[in-house]
Amino acid sequence: MRRRRCWLVAVLAACSPGRSGAEVITVERVVDGDTIDVRVGERVERVRLTGIDTPELAHEPQDVAECFAGEATAFTASLLSVGTVVRLERDVVGRDDYGRLLAYVYRVDDEVFVNWEIVRHGFALPLSIPPNEAMAEAIVHAARAAQADGAGLWTACRD
């Protein structure tokens, strides 16, 4: 089966070959290590970074943050400060059960693959959920390198 990946353009659900004039997508907020809000025109969309899983923050008063959650969120924020222009690459399934966009995120100015960077520096683990597996192998390699280096959560969160 051949997969077709689409660039996120002005209309989030559309994928039109040869379309030009895509709207600028900017980071509005880092929610946690693997979730951001982006502004597309007048709309704000929540984006879940595909292929990775960072430790969970304590979003409710009764919750307890997982090991390295704050550090993962801070690292993502260092890569994606408010106003950063990004490109979102979608895989097969475009949204999760919570309505969030699922995307591989790239900074436009230097083409840094943000999902990979977060894993490579030890702030996330690979999370492959079929059929969204286009970058799974690269992300697993990044995690193996981070583990070998003892980076981030690989050292900080040992039992």
Which residues are catalytically annotated?
48, 56, 100
Which tokens belong to 109? 């100015």
Cβ partners under 8 Å of residue 106, min gap 6? 86, 87, 88, 89, 112, 113, 114
| Rounded CA separation 154/138 (Å) | 18
Nearest partner of 115 among 36, 39, 56, 45, judged by Cα: 36
25-32 vs 86-89, strand pairing mode: unpaired
| Rounded CA separation 123/149 (Å) | 13
User: C-alpha distances in angstroms, 101 versus 116, 148, 159?
Assistant: 18, 32, 33
